[in-house]
């Protein structure tokens, strides 16, 4: 199946092909083992850093490659074409953590963390709590000001890559009475005393991507740990998630493209009534619709990414991309599974994993309902 050339220049296409080749060679042989064990292979993580795709937008002076947000989107799409678990690890690291540091980090923070984030340390974004999901700022995690800085207490749930991460952007309130204006973002190292990684969730899909609870018990933070300004954490969270949703859209487009790729190959191999099932018009019609919806989702995703890079308003377009791509990914993965017939329902074939991995797309980084609400408000 040919690679899409839509809206890409030669450099971007070469970058895409490099990542696609890596995914096929390095991730494909491991993805089912990682899914069964619910563990990301350490050597694979090391290779992601060696490929220089864990510091795409980090300036070269700090060890990154100084590339573009759009190239981050291409990387996430191609990795997710093979395994969304790897795609989301790279996605959160680049489009949430690194993007946040690029925009709001001080020069001291960048000098400290960028060399680490481009050379082995994974970043995580810790916003959600047990009573704070779509109502993102109903936070109970508390950071009490002290003479030396802050004393952090509380817990977070559903933190992607928590098991592997070394740096966490943690959102806590310093003044509950101030509502969202009391929210502050902190940079918290994994080895900070009082910080613990808790239960890892046993998930339906993207099982190699760790999703854990994290807890803070009298964690002492210095004033230098504040990302941006005190009381401006809500702005960092909202704007970072707006951009991060484009990354999730790319993940879902890649997932759908991978499911279609496997389904197309299978229909050309599987014979019934003396011929490949691809020859039947009903199968062709289904594959054509799958391909068309994927391309539409891809165009929405690329458009949002280009607008973001151009400094143009993109929030509505990002919400549209995330909403539509999540719908397409689940539908395409389901259709692909059915084209495999009974084999699609077994773990001997890839279709069931794509189907399981697709479901979270309607949930994380803003549910379907939240995306539709955002779109409606901006019409």
pLDDT of residue 170: 98
pLDDT of residue 263: 98
Eight-state DSSP code of residue 132 = B
The mean per-residue pLDDT over the stretch 248-264 comes to 98
Neighbours of 285 (CB within 10 A): 10
| CB proximity list for 355: less than 8 A, separation 6 or greater | 259, 330, 333, 334, 336, 337
pTM of the predicted structure, to 2 decimals:
0.95
Tell me how far apart the alpha carbons of residues 35 and 30 are, in angstroms, rounded to a whole number: 9
CATH 1.10.540.10 in the chain, residue ranges:
10-121
- By the 10 Å C-beta count (0-12 exposed, 13-18 middle, 19+ buried), 276 is classed as middle
Confidence of residue 130 (pLDDT cuts 50, 70, 90): confident
Using DSSP's 3-state secondary structure scheme, residue 314 falls into coil
pLDDT tens digits, residue range 160-185?
A: 999 999 999 999 999 999 988 999 99
CATH 1.20.140.10 in the chain, residue ranges:
235-377
CA distances from 368 to 200, 266, 299, 361, 375 (A): 25, 31, 19, 9, 11
Dihedral of the alpha carbons of 45, 161, 35, 203, in degrees to the nearest 10: 180
Using DSSP's 3-state secondary structure scheme, residue 155 falls into strand
Q: Tokens 């089912």 appear where? A: 32
- Residue 125, strand partner residues: 169
| CB proximity list for 373: less than 8 A, separation 6 or greater | none
pLDDT of residue 86: 98
Confidence of residue 136 (pLDDT cuts 50, 70, 90): low
Class of domain 235-377: mainly alpha
- Residue 169, strand partner residues: 125, 187
Average pLDDT, the chain: 96
pLDDT of residue 334: 98
223 or 138, greater pLDDT: 223
Q: Give alpha helix (H) positions in 51-186.
A: 69-82, 84-91, 99-104, 107-117
pLDDT of residue 280: 98
pLDDT of residue 134: 72
CA distance from start to end of the chain: 37
Q: Which CATH superfamily is domain 124-231 in?
A: Butyryl-CoA Dehydrogenase, subunit A, domain 2 (2.40.110.10)
The mean per-residue pLDDT over the stretch 287-312 comes to 97
CATH code for 10-121? 1.10.540.10
CA distances from 46 to 99, 145, 200, 246 (A): 21, 38, 22, 25
The mean per-residue pLDDT over the stretch 286-297 comes to 98
pLDDT of residue 2: 46
Tell me how far apart the alpha carbons of residues 311 and 143 are, in angstroms, rounded to a whole number: 33
The mean per-residue pLDDT over the stretch 332-356 comes to 97
Query: Looking at the chain, how many residues does it have?
Result: 379
pLDDT tens digits, residue range 25-78?
A: 999 999 999 999 999 999 999 999 999 999 999 999 999 999 999 999 999 999
- Residue 227, strand partner residues: 185
Confidence of residue 118 (pLDDT cuts 50, 70, 90): very high
Confidence of residue 6 (pLDDT cuts 50, 70, 90): low
pLDDT of residue 1: 44
pLDDT tens digits, residue range 347-379?
A: 999 999 999 999 999 999 999 999 999 999 999
Whether 289 sits among the annotated catalytic residues: the reply is: no
- By the 10 Å C-beta count (0-12 exposed, 13-18 middle, 19+ buried), 307 is classed as middle
Tell me how far apart the alpha carbons of residues 371 and 332 are, in angstroms, rounded to a whole number: 20
| CB proximity list for 271: less than 8 A, separation 6 or greater | 277
CATH 2.40.110.10 in the chain, residue ranges:
124-231
Using DSSP's 3-state secondary structure scheme, residue 106 falls into coil
Tell me how far apart the alpha carbons of residues 321 and 166 are, in angstroms, rounded to a whole number: 30
Q: Which helix (H) or strand (E) holds 213?
A: strand 211-222
Which tokens is 73 given? 């989107």
**pLDDT surpasses 70 at 221:** yes
Q: Give alpha helix (H) positions in 182-232.
A: none
**For the chain, percent of residues with pLDDT exceeding 70:** 98
Tell me how far apart the alpha carbons of residues 366 and 96 are, in angstroms, rounded to a whole number: 14
């Amino acid at each position: 199946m040919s690679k899409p050339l839509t809206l890409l220049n030669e450099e971007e296409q070469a970058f895409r092909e490099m990542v696609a080749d890596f995914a096929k060679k390095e991730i494909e042989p491991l993805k089912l083992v990682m899914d069964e064990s619910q563990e990301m292979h350490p050597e694979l993580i090391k290779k992601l850093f060696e490929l220089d795709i864990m510091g795409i937008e980090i300036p070269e002076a700090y060890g990154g490659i100084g590339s573009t947000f759009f190239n981050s989107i291409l990387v996430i799409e191609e990795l997710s074409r093979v395994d969304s678990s790897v795609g989301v690890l790279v996605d959160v690291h680049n489009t949430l953590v690194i993007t946040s540091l690029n925009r709001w980090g001080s020069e001291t923070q960048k000098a400290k963390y960028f060399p680490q984030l481009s050379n082995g340390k994974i970043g995580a974004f810790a916003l959600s709590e047990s009573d704070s999901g779509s109502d993102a700022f109903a936070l109970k995690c508390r950071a009490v000001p002290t003479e030396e800085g802050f004393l952090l207490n509380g817990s977070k749930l559903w933190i992607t890559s928590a098991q592997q991460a070394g740096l966490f952007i943690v959102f806590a309130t310093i003044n509950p009475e101030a509502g969202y204006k009391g929210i502050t973002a902190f940079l918290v190292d994994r080895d900070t005393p009082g910080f613990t990684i808790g239960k890892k969730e046993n998930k339906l899909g993207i099982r190699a991507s760790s999703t854990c609870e994290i807890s803070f018990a009298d964690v002492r933070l210095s004033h230098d740990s504040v990302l941006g300004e005190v009381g401006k954490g809500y702005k960092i969270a909202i704007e970072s998630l707006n951009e991060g949703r484009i990354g999730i859209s790319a993940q879902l487009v890649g997932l759908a493209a991978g499911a279609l790729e496997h389904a197309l190959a299978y229909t050309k191999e599987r014979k019934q009534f003396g011929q490949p099932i691809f020859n039947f018009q009903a199968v062709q019609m289904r594959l054509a619709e799958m391909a068309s919806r994927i391309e539409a989702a891809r165009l929405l995703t690329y458009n949002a990414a280009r607008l973001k890079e151009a400094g143009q308003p993109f929030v509505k377009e990002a919400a549209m991309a995330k909403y539509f791509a999540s719908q397409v990914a689940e539908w395409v993965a389901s259709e692909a599974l059915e084209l495999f017939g009974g084999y699609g329902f077994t773990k001997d074939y890839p279709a069931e994993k794509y189907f399981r991995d697709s479901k979270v797309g309607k949930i994380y980084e803003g549910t379907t309902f939240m995306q539709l609400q955002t779109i409606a408000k901006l019409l």
